[in-house]
Structure 1
Amino acid sequence: MSANTNSRDADPTVADPRAVAAGSTLSGNLGTGAIVFMVMAAAAPLTVIGGNVPLAIGIGNGAGAPVAFLIAAAVLLLFSIGFVAMTPHVREAGAFFSYVTEGIGKRAGMGIAFVALIAYTAIQVGIYGYLGWAVNDTVQFYGGPDVPWPVYAFAALVIVAVLGYRHIELSAKVLGVALICEVGIVVIMDALIFGSGGAEGINVESFTSSTITSGSIGVPILFALTGFIGFEATAVFRDEARDPARTIPRATYIAVAVIGSFYAITCWAMVLGFGVDDVVGVAEATLAGESNMLLGLADEYLGRVGRDVVNILLLTSLFACVLSFHNVIARYKYVLARKGLLPESIGRVHARHDSPSISSLVQTVTAALILCLFAVLDLDPLVGVFGSMAGVATMGMVLLMLSTSLAVIFFFTRRSDLREGHLWSTRVTPVLACLGLLLSLYLVVSNFTLVTGGSAGVSTFLGLIPVVGFIIGYVRGQGAHVARKP
């Protein structure tokens, strides 16, 4: 039995923990390290470096892109302070929507739950597209045939389906190994770039006002925020955490700080590696499918063997990313089913694997159907699939965090006994987080057509998907109930 049993006993909104034996609730023994691994794997360092960074540089503000990752990390750290302050008072897994339910109300919480499902499903499908392209690019590089990207994407989906069906600790081990390897190789590459001085010597041109404002700062901020999607998993896995009261706050702060600094430093290293004057051209060539920015940099500073290693780890990073998002989405649907918003069978737990097995299967089918649609439409896997879905996911993520910060403010406004002596964490930082998120939302919306690569009409349609999801969830939330009995 996990260490959070007592908290569940004390909370009438959560099913009886004794039902674990009957396969009704989730359990586990994940520590801080394991959860950080899950979150960082969802952030997919190599995926962001290989996909988001070229997009941020190529269609954003060029060499000034590293600043966007620092801005995103600062906003998320402000957000995390209020998020962590409220965590002990939210006894239910479900992350953002549980916080909104507690702070604003049941119907708003259900609306946000649907936004989360849309955001995570969008980024998962987007990564499947990127993975399909990357595998085909690798096969062709080594002299293999040119195979349509959906073939590889569906092959990965099958493997994810098998792992997602089983206990979460198996997925955590797979993600942990992949994460250690990919972070390790990037750290080595960064060190070699800084050690050699890069293409033009070490400089801070990326952090000067003229460089930062040389293009659209909104685009790199959007892709920087996309790089953090998944850090919410620190709370999603609370039922499977060893000691939620300590594990969740630690994992949240560590994840945001490590991810933010890692992205900013590596993005800066990539600018230095190619040179301030040439990096935009390299990024644009990558987006046009004429080269590969990450692998080209690896070839230059790690040699051919290093390039091959980075190539393999890029593929494992992409796979780790879709697996982690699969686990998060499956748990969202599991909780929604136990609230009566989805069919009851989705809320069942596998008797042997202690996993939300039915929910996992449903998510597999959902992702497969969307991939089929994109395959039939013959969309480009990078811009058409990954770029557009990243845009939808980021819109959803900003809405999720904005509503959660508002929930923190409302919650502690009602509970004056809890905020005494904690004004900074319960009022000040949530307000600052809201301001930062509103500014981020404005930048995302004003640059959305650049991100999706589509017309204003298509971009508007994609941008409204999370909003429509919120409305549907809000209306559907009227039928939600407290908890299903085991």
Structure 2
Amino acid sequence: MAQSPTVASRPSVVSSTLAANRLGIMHVVFFVITAAAPLTVIAGIVSTGWQVTEIKGLPLAFLLVAVVLALFCVGYVAVARRIRNAGAFYTYIAKGLGKPLGVGGSFIALFAYGLMQWSTYGAIGFTLSTLVHDKTGATVPWYVFGLAAWALVAIMGLLRVDLNSRVLAVALVAEVVVVVIFDIIDVAHPFGGSVSFTTLSPASLSGAGLGIALAIAVTGFIGFEAAAVFSEESKESDRTVPAATFLSLALMAVLYAGSAWAMAVTIGADNLHKAATQFSSTLPAAVVATKVGGNIVIDIGQILFATSLIAAALSYHGTCSRYTFALGRERVLPAFLGRTGIRSNAPKYASIAQSAVGFLLVIAFAISHADPLVNFFFTFGTAGAFGVLLLITGTSFSVIGFLARNPEGETLWQRLIAPVIACCGLLLIIYLILSNFGALLGDPASPLRFVFPAIYTLLGVGGVIWALFLRSTRPGVYAAIGLGAAASSATPFTSPGPAPLRGRTPGGRS
């Protein structure tokens, strides 16, 4: 019996459509800022920066990097207003620099955001295992807590996007409240009795570690760019995505620079390296504990550090699964990855795929007895942040190409001047990172300083080759690259290529 048009069309709608109009500006901001994990940045990145360099001016470094990224956002949001696609960077590069480079960028995106997500399980496990041992004497393997966090993220990834946003909102508010309280206590107890602005002066950035300091600072902002990934699920995305992007970037800059400056006020600019070396990731809580609260403050700091990472894992999971979904919907990857849950409209199979890889990595690190904090979290997280920076830079160039062909409604500042300045700044930061990649990974002689850049090169080249293969063998799929939701009608599930190549007539069978 023939199905009615309504019934027959239902599977493709269910399979290729994300939930529309569920996210407002603040919902998207919660996804974006929790991915950056403010407490993790302040406890991990700031303390690491002072530990591995003699540079005092990390607060100023955060502000300078924020300016470069703000310039990037000028052109980025101009494109975001016109393109509504969960593939974000992948789609922008495809439309600005060509489909082969877009697919190359998508392969880099999957690996980079995946590393950012999966690496958090190592730090979560290590932090909670250490806390339990310190308080009870019990030895619980890190991977027990890591797998518990993985299970939570895996389940949440299958639920409605607005439910995820509410969970992230609670975690983010608690995190920011604690950070602000720590900052107030720090400034209220200045070293030497007077508040100093030394770490905000240009002289504070002088020294041999400048490149590392800027490279470290830029990793703290990774995640600010993810607002566009949720454009298909946003209300009035042409307004929501730009507003959420700029608001997230501004909040991050204030939190990072302000908190780093506040810690420097209470520690003393000349004591930063010594204090960071002594306390490492517990530095913010340890400093406050010497002023008020004692060890309980350190315990609270560790717990919130872990919950911050769980929230970041959930946010990165959402970003990465939507990239995977976008590629599946357009048949660049297997089509089943482009299907959503019937009730949740979440990217069901893309989410499951992300969770499967995360599970295997946790098990692999557990079996290998590798250090979950250094080898899993820090190494993978740093490499992932570098990959995202490559994407941001590629997107900055694509913005110039796209707006040159579609200049309507945009000023010369938006189309060209700001994107060009951003490209120059981003290329400089990439150069500084590559020049100091070993030091960023904790060992200047580490072979991984060559391995990860080589992997990204191979992924990019592999994506270009795959796109060219699709162009010659599956032109229907190639034509649909970058179409987003419209790709489901351009490349139906039942036929990966155009009908004429298979001897079909319109509406007929082979």
Give the TM-score normalised by the residue count of structure 1.
0.91
Structure 1 counterpart of 2:301, from 303, 310, 326? 310
Contact 2:32/2:226, CA 8 A, preserved across alignment = yes
Contact 1:226/1:390, CA 8 A, preserved across alignment = no
Look up the match of 1:3.
none
Per mean C-alpha deviation after superposition, the further-off stretch among 103-112 and 189-198 is 189-198
Query: For the residues of structure 1 that align with 2:292 and 2:95, how far apart are their CA atoms?
Result: 50
Query: For the residues of structure 2 that align with 1:173 and 1:416, how far apart are their CA atoms?
Result: 37
Query: For the residues of structure 1 that align with 2:67 and 2:345, how far apart are their CA atoms?
Result: 37
Query: 1:382-421 alignment to 2 at 5 Å?
Result: 382-419=373-410
Query: For the residues of structure 1 that align with 2:128 and 2:230, how far apart are their CA atoms?
Result: 30
Cα RMSD over matched residues?
A: 2.0
Query: 1:207-222 alignment to 2 at 5 Å?
Result: 207-222=200-215
Structure 2 residue runs of 5 or longer lacking an equivalent are: 1-8, 471-476, 481-486, 493-510
Match of 1:63, SS? coil
Query: 1:42-441 alignment to 2 at 5 Å?
Result: 42-198=35-191, 201-287=194-280, 292-304=282-294, 305-419=296-410, 422-441=411-430
Give the TM-score normalised by the residue count of structure 2.
0.87
Contact 1:96/1:112, CA 8 A, preserved across alignment = yes
Look up the match of 1:22.
14
Query: For the residues of structure 1 that align with 2:84 and 2:201, how far apart are their CA atoms?
Result: 45
Query: For the residues of structure 1 that align with 2:167 and 2:312, how far apart are their CA atoms?
Result: 11
Per-residue deviation at 1:64? 1.9
Match for 1:484: what amino acid? S
Per-residue deviation at 1:200? 5.4
Match of 1:352, SS? coil
Query: For the residues of structure 2 that align with 1:221 and 1:264, how far apart are their CA atoms?
Result: 13
Query: For the residues of structure 2 that align with 1:148 and 1:65, how far apart are their CA atoms?
Result: 35
Query: For the residues of structure 2 that align with 1:359 and 1:302, how far apart are their CA atoms?
Result: 46
Per-residue deviation at 1:403? 0.9
Match for 1:169: what amino acid? D
Match of 1:142, SS? helix
Structure 2 counterpart of 1:477, from 467, 485, 497? 467
Contact 2:154/2:351, CA 8 A, preserved across alignment = yes
Query: For the residues of structure 2 that align with 1:467 and 1:408, how far apart are their CA atoms?
Result: 21
Q: 1:206 to 1:160 in 2, by over 3 A?
A: same
Q: Deviations over 1:371-424 (max 9, x none)?
A: 3333333332333222222331232122111111111111122234454xx000
Match for 1:428: what amino acid? I
Q: 1:32 to 1:198 in 2, by over 3 A?
A: farther
Q: 1:138 to 1:414 in 2, by over 3 A?
A: same
Rg larger in 1 or in 2?
Answer: 2
Contact 2:81/2:241, CA 8 A, preserved across alignment = no
Contact 2:119/2:381, CA 8 A, preserved across alignment = yes
Look up the match of 2:483.
none
Contact 2:34/2:308, CA 8 A, preserved across alignment = yes
Query: For the residues of structure 2 that align with 1:247 and 1:144, how far apart are their CA atoms?
Result: 49
Look up the match of 2:434.
445
Query: For the residues of structure 2 that align with 1:321 and 1:144, how far apart are their CA atoms?
Result: 29
Q: Deviations over 1:271-310 (max 9, x none)?
A: 22222222211212344xxx82132123134414444433
Query: For the residues of structure 2 that align with 1:370 and 1:300, how far apart are their CA atoms?
Result: 38
Q: 1:91 to 1:169 in 2, by over 3 A?
A: closer
Identity across matched positions, percent: 35
Query: For the residues of structure 1 that align with 2:302 and 2:87, how far apart are their CA atoms?
Result: 35
Per mean C-alpha deviation after superposition, the further-off stretch among 377-386 and 429-438 is 377-386
Contact 2:36/2:221, CA 8 A, preserved across alignment = yes
Structure 1 residue runs of 5 or longer lacking an equivalent are: 1-16
Look up the match of 2:24.
31
Look up the match of 2:504.
none
Contact 2:18/2:346, CA 8 A, preserved across alignment = yes
Per-residue deviation at 1:55? 1.1
Look up the match of 1:7.
none
Residue 454 of structure 2 is aligned to residue 461 of structure 1: no
